[in-house]
Each structure stands twice: as structure tokens, then as C-alpha cells.
Structure 1
Amino acid sequence: MNNTQPSSVTFFILQGLGSLGEKKMILFVIFLLAYTIILGGNSMIIYLVRTDPKLGSPMYFFLHNLSFVDMVYTTVTIPNMLSGFLTDVKIVSFPGCFLQMYSFIQLGLTDRALLTVMAYDRYVAICNPLRYTTVMTRPVRLLLIVGAWTFGAFFTLPAITMATQRSYCGPNVVRHCWCDPSSLRVLVCGDTQVENMVSLSSAVISLLTTGLLILISYILIVMAIAKMGATQRLKAFTTCVAHLTVVTISYTSAAFVYISYRVGNISPEVRIIVSVLYSILTPFLNPMIYSLRNKELRDAIKRAFCPHTDILPQGCKTLNIMS
């Protein structure tokens, strides 16, 4: 079939987890709670960074942008998935499906690029502390943010552009909670070998590039920390532990998703659940990890929500104990 032929499919049906029956409502409650926490936690970080002058360092500027990306990233898929739990048939238009697919992939890669930028920021702060403020100027920070978004768009466009040019002649049932590239590709009329290669190459190159840059940054950081005294070493390690924890969780969960799609005896429902958990895990844990591991952020929370330190609410007492 000619690849430039207009598609005979004008909409897609998202099957999601319809086979789970009444268990869908349990998942609905779990994912709704998780989404609420994601929005609340990341909104809190954005609010604190934008209003607290003591959080004006480049590290918090990048964290603020990471929280924004996490919120949009989950908003692209979770509300649509939640509505699918409440209806028997979830329909998405042809353009809307590809817009969702592009946004999901692009924001995921932008998230990885921002983690890479934050690793570079920690490298400069620890390995070149005297030059930190002169290197991480506001124009440089903005350039790094633009670079992260450009990186995500660059590695997303080829596969999505090819997908939109193909014909989808039915069935139009997508076995996923959203327009997942792998689930949509099986509906293409004709051979998809080229699309598979382009999609896999883009994913591998982008993940390996960001992962390698993060690894190099931390190797240089470890080499610099090894030359420090005990007090400086502890302080340097403290500034990295939250970011390193987030990076480890992010790339480990991505590896599980990659493996689940290539193991033949895993049911489609399990693959979907693994994919959904992957998409919400890092945005869900980011605010908690940074709030628990970063003293400056905990202090900012106390200043914002517990301004009167003489009579502290129970939540503020808990924060004081954690500090």
C-alpha cells in the first residue's frame, strides 16, 4: 500500500485495561491519588523556587524546570487514562493520538536532558566551585533549558513524522491506555521495519547520550570528592544524593519497560501496567526525594507553610525533626 495514501482510520479506540473488569476502579483510585500527589508536590517545588529568594541558585532553577516538565508529562497521559477507566470505550481522534504520542515521547526525552543538565550543574559546583557563579549565569542556564527541549524535539520528530505518513486501515483498537508508539505501529498497513529501526535508534541514542554524559559527570565528581577533606566530602555528597537517586530510579525503570516489551511471555496487561508505573514513578518520587534529602528545600517549606516558629503545627514539628 502506498505510504502517502490517506489513512482510512479517522480515530482510534484505546483499549487500556478493560479486561480487568471491576479491578479498574481500584487502579482508578490509585492512579488518581498518585496524579494528585504529582501535581501537588511539583507545584510546591515550583512555588518555593519562584518565591523564596534563598532558592535562587542554578540548581533550584533546573529543579523548578524539571518539576514543570514532570507535571506536563503526566498530564499528557494520566487524565486520559483515568477517563478510560470510567467509560467502556475511549476514543481519540487521529491528530489527537499523534499529538499525544509526540508530547509523551518529547517530554520524556526532555526530562532526561534536564537530568543531564543538572548533573553538569553539580559537576561545575563541585569541581569548579570558584567559577560556579561565573559559569552558570542566567543566559547559560536559559541556553541549557532551551537545549534540553530542543534535544527532546530532535530525537522525537523523525519517528513521529514517519508514523503520521503511514496508512492505518484497521482495526483501529490500540492495546494501551494512550497512543503508545509500539502499540500503534502494529496497526499500520504494510511493513514497519524502517519505522522500528528509526524509533529504536532514536530511543537508544538519546538514552545512551544522556546516560553517558551523566555518568561522565559523576565520575569527575567522584574524582574531585576523593581529594577533599571529610567535611567537604560529606557536603559535596549531600548536594548530589537527591539527583543521583532520581537518575537511578529513572533509568532503572526505563530498563524494566524496555525488557517488558521484549519478553514474549508477558501479557499485554502487565506491559501496560509497567509502562504506566514507569511514566508516573519519577514525577511522583521527585518532590519527595528532594524534600527529604535537601535541607535548603525543607527549610523553604517551613518558611512558606510554617512562618511562626514559636507555635508550630504538627507537620512543621515533623519537618524540624527531619532537619
Structure 2
Amino acid sequence: MKDLNGTEHAVKEFYLVGVPGLQDRQNLLCILFLLLYVAVMAGNLLMLYLVLLDQRLHTPMYFFLCHLSVLDVLLSTLILPKMMAVFLLEDRLISFAGCFLQMYLILASGSTENIILLVMAYDRYVAIMKPLHYHLIINGKVCVVLTTVAWALGYMAPLLHVLDAMSLPYCGPNIVQYCYCDFSSVAILACADVTDVLKKAVVAAMCVVNIPLLLILGSYFIIILNIYSRSKEDSKKAFSTCASHLFIVSVYYFSADLLYITVVTGSMSADNRVIMGVLSYLLTPLLNPIVYSLRNKQIKQAAKKYLTFSCGSKCFCVN
């Protein structure tokens, strides 16, 4: 088998172990992750449904939030169905090309989510720091440009590193100590020195994670300084506007950085690293619709309007 660069591969498929050390508990893990998947899908699809239906939610903030929900649904779908097949159906084989495609899409979607979170922080920055000019700066055209750039950069970021890993010779073994095609777990199976490939990939990943994080923290630092110079009521309103996004950012980047640190230092057992890796991709998709809906009156009003499954006779009155 040859890849795009013409490298010969004896390995034509990979065998996914699942969670090393916890094979006897995979039924329990299957139930847990299935419940997480249902919750992620329900929450994010509901968010998309409400935003599409309610004209009051057709604003830049919800436009960006919709992109975040699409990424959350995509990430969960890239990871969990194959995990369910591994745990429940013992369907552990994945083709060589399919493995690297899954790897690329997971990394690319995660990178895009980083940039979308940065775009959302910029939106909040303009809304608080330049409220009178907000609609001139963040208009429909700008929203489309920002999200297009975010998706393009996100999907470009891991491409070269995945191609580098794919071009390595794979002659066996083909056993991946993970429940999906994780970059480092697959790359170490190559019949070559992968030190440089792994180092470059980790450095790139840390940059993709931490550069947006530093920019987001910088914007919130400026916002906080500005809030203290305002009235108590304005400060409360500004903080409420930022609180949901800041919470999601904190959870997302903390879990991502913790995962990369444990990979580099090797300070976590294989089974714990797998669980941590899966949860780092699922935690924010699970929390996003909950956090943004619980703190948002407009989302609650839209839910009351469009999610009334049974109602009184007034619902059917015709003028």
C-alpha cells in the first residue's frame, strides 16, 4: 500500500484497543460515552434549531455560537460512533486511509474551535469596548469573513503534520493503544525514528492552543480594566456578557493544555490518558449549550416559544 508520497506500507489497517487496562469495563464506558454523545447532540442541535427559528437570535454572537455548535457536533460524531463500535460491537479495525482521515478531521475541527473561541472573544471585546460602533465593526460581511478564515486556518493547521506522519513507513505492529486514531498513538507505530515528527506536532499543537488563549486573556484583561471605570450597573452587565464565554474558554484550554502536557511528560497511565483525551474533546461540546442557554434570557424565551409540545386552545385560534 502506498500513501500520497509513494511510501510503501505493509500495514493496511489499524486495530483499535479501546481503553488499555479497562477492557473488562468497556460496557460501562460504552454506556457513559453513549449518554454523553446523546447529551452533546441534543444540546447543540437544539441550540442550532432555536437560533435558526428565532429572528431575535440572528445576531453576530449567535452566528458564532452556531459555528461552535456545528464543530461540537462534528467532533463528537468523528470520535464517538467508532468508539461505540469498538466497545459494543468489537469492531476494532479501521483502514489505513480511514485512520489518518479521522485523525486529521479531529485535529482540524479542534483547531477551528480554538479560533472560533478567539473570534467570539473579539466579538465580546468590541461589544463592550466600542458599543456605539459595534454594528459598524461586526456586521454580516465581517462575521462571514471571520468564520471563513477560522475554518480555513483550523483545517490548514494540522495538515502538514498529519501528512508527515502518514508518509512514515508502517510495517507493523498495527495495534493502536487508543479508542480512535490519536496522532501520537498511531505515529509511534511507524518503523522509523518519529521523535522529530512528534516534537513538531506537539509544538504546533501548543501554539494552536495557547496563541488564541493568550489573545483571549489579553482581551479580557483590557475589558476588566475598562469595567472597573464604569458604573456598577454597566459593570454588572458587561461581566454578565463575558462570563459564559470566559467559563467555556477556561474549561476548554485547561483540559487541552493538561492533555498535551501529560503526553509530553508521560506522567499519566495509558488508560487515564485515553479517558482524558476523549473527555477533553467532549467536555466543552457538552457544556456549551448548557452554559450559554442557562445564562441567556433570549435563548430561554426562544425555547419557551418553540419547544411547547402541548398547549392550550389559544395556540390553535385563528383570527
Superposed counterparts of 1:156-235, under 5 Å: 156-235=158-237
Maintained 8 Å contact 2:20/2:177: no
Count residues with an aligned counterpart.
309
Secondary structure at the counterpart of residue 15 of structure 2: strand
Contact 2:255 2:280 in 1 (8 A): yes
Cα deviations by residue, 1:29-48 (Å, 9 ceiling, x for unpaired): 11101100100000011111
Contact 1:242–1:294 (CA under 8 A) maintained in structure 2: no
Given the alignment, which residue of 52, 59, 62 partners 2:61?
59
Q: In 1, are the aligned partners of 2:202 and 2:260 still within 8 Å (CA)? A: no
SS at match of 1:261: helix
Residue number in structure 1 paired with 2:157: 155
Q: Aligned residue for 2:317?
A: none
Identity of counterpart residues, as a percentage?
39
* TM-aligned CA distance change 1:124 to 1:12, over 3 Å: same
Structure 2 spans left out of the alignment, 5+ residues: 314-319
1: CA distance, partners of 2:238 / 2:251: 21
Q: How many angstroms does 1:222 deviate by?
A: 1.2
CA shift for structure 1 position 185? 1.2
Give 1:265 deviation, angstroms.
Answer: 5.2
Q: Which moved more, 1:181-190 or 1:86-95?
A: 86-95
Letter paired with 1:134: L
Structure-to-structure mapping, 1:226-245, within 5 angstroms? 226-245=228-247
User: Root-mean-square deviation (CA), in Å?
Assistant: 1.8
Ranges in structure 1 where 5+ consecutive residues have no aligned partner? 312-323
Q: Which moved more, 1:5-14 or 1:110-119?
A: 5-14
Taking a change above 3 Å as real, the CA distance of residues 56 and 308 of structure 1, as seen in their structure-2 partners, is: farther
Contact 1:97 1:179 in 2 (8 A): yes
For residue 111 of structure 1, what is the aligned residue in structure 2?
Answer: 113
Tell me the distance in 2 between the aligned counterparts of 1:5 and 1:47. Answer: 46
1:33 and 1:303 map into 2 onto residues whose CA distance is 27
The answer as to whether partners of 1:18 and 1:24 remain within 8 angstroms in 2 is no
C-alpha separation between the residues in 2 aligned to 1:89 and 1:64? 33
Q: How does 1:225-304 map to 2 (within 5 A)?
A: 225-264=227-266, 266-304=268-306
User: 1:124 and 1:98 mapped to 2: Cα distance?
Assistant: 39
Report if aligned partners of 2:209, 2:256 keep a CA contact under 8 Å in 1.
Answer: no
Detail structure 1 runs of 4+ shifted over 6 Å in the superposition: 307-311
TM-score, normalising length: structure 2 = 0.92
Does structure 2 retain, via aligned residues, the 8 Å contact 1:13–1:89? Answer: no
